[in-house]
Amino acid sequence: MADGFFDWRELSRRAAAEGWAKFSPKQQDDFVTAFSELLQKTYIRKLEKYNNEKVTYLKEQIEADKAFINTQVTMKDKAIPINYIMIKHDKWMVYDVVVEGVSLVKNYRTQFAKILSREAPDALIQRIKDKIKSLDEGKNVDDVAG
């Protein structure tokens, strides 16, 4: 389901930022595949914890080929703002999610820039694959750099 909603290439390109140019086309494809799998495994686990919470659509703002969708998830004891940043190609696709003011793309951009400043793209891709393996084994590793 996430593949029809997220623009994994755009999200990956923005998370890699300046480092994207260091990737060969094959490495870019491998990075998009690994990073999208990591995000799906990480965030699907979190979504599985939600049960009957109320989602309220607060506002949408469209500017040319970009859209900003503001929502709020209401839980028993608190309301969590979740905003989606979208881009239009053939259809609208999400390329960033901002939860309680923290951008998914910016969070990973910081980690990836640190890794790519001292390691090659293949090393970053391997770190992501290692993180996926850890998640599959039930381990909880906070970030790719760790």
Each residue's pLDDT, cut to its tens digit, for the chain (146 residues) gives: 566 789 999 999 999 999 999 999 999 999 999 999 999 888 766 666 667 788 899 999 999 999 999 999 888 888 989 999 999 988 999 999 998 899 999 999 999 999 999 999 999 999 999 999 998 888 765 566 55
Query: Number of structural domains, the chain?
Result: 1
Task: Dump strand ranges (E) for the chain.
Answer: 54-63, 66-74, 79-88, 92-99, 102-103
Question: Is 99 inside a domain boundary?
Answer: yes
Q: What is the CATH number of the domain that holds 71?
A: 3.10.450.710
- The DSSP result for 12-38, as a single string, is HHHHHGGGGGGS-HHHHHHHHHHHHHH
Question: Is 88 inside a domain boundary?
Answer: yes
Q: Tokens 């951008």 appear where? A: 103
Question: Is 121 inside a domain boundary?
Answer: yes
Question: Is 143 inside a domain boundary?
Answer: no
What is the residue range of 14's domain? 2-136
Cross-sheet strand order for the sheet of 66-74: 54-63, 66-74, 79-88, 92-99, 102-103
Question: Is 142 inside a domain boundary?
Answer: no
Question: Is 145 inside a domain boundary?
Answer: no
Question: Is 118 inside a domain boundary?
Answer: yes
